[in-house]
DNA sequence: TAGTGTGAAACGGTTCACAGCG
DNA sequence: CGCTGTGAACCGTTTCACACTA
């Protein structure tokens, strides 16, 4: 089951990105089922709730090793736990927000994120009037303090919600300060400022385009 | 180039969903180039800025008919306009927000959306204390008035940012009231409440999972 | 000549159909 | 017997390499 690299080191089997994406969906639905007290679920039902085919679901899960019981189905709680572990959702992550605006404020106060183990431990801004304030229980630091605070608070993920400029500059600073990954929720795609840094562009307005296309 | 359906009616050539998604990216980068005064761009540069391969970009554009000039490149302004037309971004769309929370408020005040031609013309909530208020210049109606207001204001797209419950109920109401599409930005995937309604799930927390996976 | 447009090959993901197992 | 797990066939997307044209 486990693939080996040329040098025969065992490597994490490369999941297709789409599979990964679906895994995150499965987790959310499993959480709901779990909340509703369901103990068992069959691939057919879980697939329908997630909007995929049962074969797809079983194939996705089989990449990770069989979690189900033949003739029975999947244990909701156990599957949820396994998938979360694979997605890295079995521990706490420290986040920092770089650049404050409405969307950023909404994220800071979003209970879902902290329930998921994603905690904002700091915010950064370049505007005097924001520095030193506490918003949604998070302290706003000057950008100059970023390097120190990121190291001190063990921030691993930086979050951007602002436009370019200053998005690109903020990304560079975050990367310099030592975060390992950046989530860019701003409107414009950025490139990773440094080799080894993971940067994802996830513009909130993008799905609107898919809708307006479909409606045209 | 143009495909024909069995009955030989000309149909919009079905774009692969991934292509569509990339088109939206291209538009955003073209907007930036345009703002910066660039008139011409070659596939190699545009592709790099969008994080795809030049071959991919050219193939995507060739689905839509050749927009470029051999030996020269693409006219930034003209390509931007063409792509926007294809995505349905060449006109104004009326949106309604169903269920108010922090994320919803952030959307209402987001200038980018209105610059894109996406205008919130109404908001709906079930809580007495919200009804009748005006937030970010948008009036908050009771859910009972939805049917009337949606028709009157010609709302085509409904936007959800709330949890389930009441997300599912809100989706059903929107669909009943006559919107053609629903964007669910809430945490849990929903199914289209009715045949013919387009529903997209675009949970904001999803990209976080992809990052925590990559970092694990 | 430089860079687009595009068939054809290569790749990767999805679906199928059934073997395998509780 | 029922439902999962999975090799193999299928299908759509990406990449390649080059014909084409301003």
Task: Report the CATH number at residue B139.
Answer: 3.40.50.720
**pLDDT (tens digit per residue) in A49-93:** 999 999 999 999 999 988 999 999 999 999 999 999 999 999 999
**Interchain proximity B208–A157, CB inside 8 Å:** yes
* B141 and B181 assigned to the same domain: yes
A111 to each of A117, A151, B162, B168, how far by Cα in Å? 10, 25, 12, 20
On whether residue B82 sits in a domain, the answer given is: yes
Beta bridge partners of B162: none
Cβ–Cβ under 8 Å, residues A81 and A26: no
Structural domain includes residue B3? no
**B65, closest nucleotide (Cα–C1'):** C5
B8 in any annotated domain: no
The pLDDT tens digits for B76-87 are 999 999 999 999
When pLDDT is averaged across residues A194-198 and rounded to a whole number, the result is 91
Taking only the tens place, the pLDDT of each residue in A146-192 is 999 999 999 999 999 998 889 999 999 999 999 999 999 998 889 88
Higher per-residue confidence, A40 vs A196: A40
Burial status of residue B91 (CB atoms within 10 A of its CB: 0-12, 13-18, 19 or more): exposed
Residue A9 forms contact with B (CB below 8 Å): no
Quick check: A74 CB within 7 A of strand D?
yes
On whether residue B28 sits in a domain, the answer given is yes
Q: So what's the pLDDT on residue B57? A: 98
My answer on whether B155 and B177 are in the same domain is yes
Q: Looking at the structure, tell me whether residues B74 and B40 fall in a common domain.
A: yes
Number of residues assigned to chain B: 216
The pLDDT-based confidence of A11 (bands split at 50, 70, 90) is: very low
CA atoms within 13 A on the CB side of A179: 32
Q: Please give the mean pLDDT across all residues of chain B.
A: 92
- What is the spatial distance, in angstroms and rounded to an integer, between the CA atom of A42 and the C1' atom of D2? 11
What CATH number does residue B55 fall under?
Answer: 1.10.10.10
Last residue of a domain, one of B71, B86, B101: B86
Task: Dig out the tokens for A44 from the structure.
Answer: 């057919």
> How many Å apart are A69 CA and C16 C1'?
21
Q: Which residue has the higher pLDDT, B17 or A124?
A: A124
Per-residue pLDDT for A98 more than 90? yes
Tell which of A86, A106, A127 closes a domain. A86
Domain that holds residue A28: 17-86
pLDDT at A95 over 90: yes
Asked if residue A26 is part of any domain, the answer here is: yes
- Using the C1' atom of nucleotide D16, identify the protein residue whose alpha carbon is closest: B55
Q: Is the CB of B73 under 7 A from strand C?
A: yes
Dihedral angle sign, alpha carbons of residues A175, A96, A185, A142: negative
Residues A125 and A193 in one domain: yes
Q: A183 and A100, same structural domain?
A: yes
- A77 CA vs C17 C1’ separation (Å): 30
Last residue of a domain, one of B27, B62, B86: B86
Domain assignment present for residue B213? The answer is no
Q: Within this chain, do residues A47 and A136 fall inside the same structural domain, yes or no?
A: no
Determine, yes or no, domain membership for B171. yes
A36 in contact with chain B, both atoms CB, cutoff 8 A:
no
Task: Report pLDDT digits (tens) over B106-135.
Answer: 999 999 999 999 999 999 999 999 999 999
User: Into how many domains does chain B fold?
Assistant: 2
Answer yes or no: do B101 and B25 share one domain.
no
Q: Are strands A138-142 and A118-125 parallel, antiparallel or unpaired?
A: parallel
Residue B211 placed within a domain? no
Statement to judge: residues A34 and A74 lie in one domain: yes
Same domain, B197 and B118: yes
Backbone angles phi, psi at A76, to 5 degrees: -55, -55
Report CA(A47)–C1'(D2) in Å, whole number. 17
Tokens representing residue B153 in the block: 């204001």
Inform me whether the pLDDT recorded for A118 exceeds 80. Answer: yes
Cα distances (Å, whole numbers) of residue A174 to A107, A122, A130, A197: 18, 12, 18, 10
Q: Which residues of B touch A28 (CB under 8 A)?
A: 187-189, 203
Asked if B43 and B100 sit in the same domain, the reply is no
Chain A partners within 8 Å of B137 (Cβ): none
Residue B101's φ and ψ, nearest 5 degrees, are: -150, -170
Same domain, A135 and A67: no
Orientation angle between helical segments A17-35 and A43-50, nearest 10 degrees: 110
Residues of chain B found within 8 Å of residue A215, distances taken between Cβ atoms: 88, 93, 156-157, 180-181, 198
- Considering the domain architecture, whether residues B171 and B121 belong to the same structural domain is answered as yes
Please report which confidence band the pLDDT of residue B5 belongs to, taking 50, 70 and 90 as the band edges: very low
């Amino acid at each position: 089951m486990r693939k080996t690299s040329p040098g025969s080191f065992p490597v994490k089997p490369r999941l297709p990105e789409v599979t990964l994406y679906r895994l995150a969906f499965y987790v959310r639905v499993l959480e709901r089922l779990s909340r509703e007290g369901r103990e068992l679920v069959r691939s057919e039902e879980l697939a329908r709730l997630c909007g995929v085919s049962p074969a797809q679901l079983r194939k996705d899960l089989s990449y990770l090793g069989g979690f189900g019981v033949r003739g029975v189905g999947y244990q909701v709680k156990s599957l949820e736990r396994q998938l979360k572990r694979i997605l890295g959702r079995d521990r706490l992550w420290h986040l920092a927000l770089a650049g404050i605006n409405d969307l950023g404020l909404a994220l800071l106060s979003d209970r879902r994120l902290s329930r998921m183990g994603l905690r904002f431990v700091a915010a950064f801004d370049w505007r005097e009037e924001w520095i030193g304030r506490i918003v949604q229980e998070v302290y706003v630091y000057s950008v100059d303090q970023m390097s120190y605070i990121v190291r001190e608070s063990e921030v691993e993920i930086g979050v951007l919600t602002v436009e370019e400029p200053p998005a690109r500059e903020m990304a560079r600073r975050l990367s310099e300060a030592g975060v390992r990954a950046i989530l860019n929720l701003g409107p414009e795609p950025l490139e990773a400022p440094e080799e080894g840094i993971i940067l994802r562009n996830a513009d909130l307005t993008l799905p609107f385009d898919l809708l307006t296309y479909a409606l045209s």
